[in-house]
Amino acid sequence: YIEVYVTKVNPLNCPTVVGTLIDRDCSEDYIKNNILGNVRSLCPVEPLVDAVEKRNRLRLLQPWLEARLAEGNQEPSLHNALAKIYIDSNKDPENFLKTDSYYDSAVVGAYCEDRDPHLAYIAYKRAWGTCDDQLLRVTNNNGLFRLQARYLVERQSPELWAKALADDNQYRRHVIDQVVSTALPESKNADEVTAAVKAFIDADLPNELIELLEKIVLHNSDFSDNRTLQNLLILTAIKADKSRVMDYVHRLDNYDGPEIALIAMGDPYNL
């Protein structure tokens, strides 16, 4: 009369009962149909998930978890468990990670790292700021620099940019290459461009900034005619690579000539 006990007497003890039944090699069908199928939402989610997961039998809970999901249960432990099941069974996990609002990004991202780094990136990105360090780590360790570059551009976070462009980041060049070649040229958002340019200035990377500005200003992007960016490209070249200055002066047509000329003729440039 186990069913009566968990449904009528003590539903809160259902996780312990299920764990014991698993330990005694009880039929999964019996657990799913006679126990979980009867106790339904009376059983607490988190202790049940913990009891079953530590026995490596999480998939046993899939029907019960999905039934609670359909009822509108928003407990992170339920959504974390479903995410793990869908990841391990390859049941469209990417869609779940992008659309579900209630799983814990840190928990699910960590679960994904050794299984599928791309899914870990999706989970960490969805946190939008609270898992930034984890996102940098997983993209660095797995060579997902294009994804990292796109995230940096979209996030527009000075603190995150500073970490990615730090001197001691051994992956910095890889990230810069992807920002310059892909992530920023794809952007149609002026605020994203401004944040990226400022990050390169703050990191004191004039030569890399020239690469970045060339890609934006000289290669038919939405910002090719931007006066501020044209001025900045010429001024950065004056300071960092004078051999490029005349080429820019001839190719660009929307910069502030008189102001730039005054700077170029003054100390310490004397051009």
**Does residue 145 contact residue 174 with C-beta atoms inside 8 Å?**
yes
- Identity at 87, one-letter amino acid code: I
- Identity at 120, one-letter amino acid code: A
The whole-number pLDDT of residue 1 equals 79
Average pLDDT, the chain: 96
Last residue of a domain, one of 121, 142, 163: 142
- On whether both 156 and 219 belong to a single domain, the answer is yes
- On whether both 231 and 264 belong to a single domain, the answer is yes
**148-189 residue pLDDT tens:** 999 999 999 999 999 999 999 999 999 999 999 999 999 999
H or E element in which residue 147 lies: helix 145-155
- On whether both 4 and 62 belong to a single domain, the answer is yes
- On whether both 149 and 131 belong to a single domain, the answer is no
**182-235 residue pLDDT tens:** 999 999 999 999 999 999 999 999 999 999 999 999 987 789 999 999 999 999
Last residue of a domain, one of 92, 117, 142: 142
Report percent pLDDT > 70 for the chain: 100
The whole-number pLDDT of residue 155 equals 98
The whole-number pLDDT of residue 100 equals 98
**87-127 residue pLDDT tens:** 999 999 999 999 999 999 999 999 999 999 999 999 999 99
pTM: 0.93
- Residue 157's domain comprises 145-271
The whole-number pLDDT of residue 147 equals 99
- On whether both 116 and 231 belong to a single domain, the answer is no
- On whether both 39 and 90 belong to a single domain, the answer is no
Last residue of a domain, one of 73, 96, 113: 73
H or E element in which residue 82 lies: helix 76-89
The whole-number pLDDT of residue 269 equals 72
The whole-number pLDDT of residue 221 equals 76
d(CA 192, CA 189): 5
**Scanning the structure block, which residue is given the tokens 């479903």?**
82
The whole-number pLDDT of residue 212 equals 96
- On whether both 134 and 254 belong to a single domain, the answer is no
- On whether both 137 and 220 belong to a single domain, the answer is no
- On whether both 192 and 84 belong to a single domain, the answer is no
- On whether both 183 and 95 belong to a single domain, the answer is no
- On whether both 16 and 116 belong to a single domain, the answer is no
Half-sphere exposure of 248 (CA within 13 A, CB side): 29
Number of domains in the chain: 3
**Scanning the structure block, which residue is given the tokens 């993209």?**
139
- On whether both 135 and 163 belong to a single domain, the answer is no
The whole-number pLDDT of residue 139 equals 99
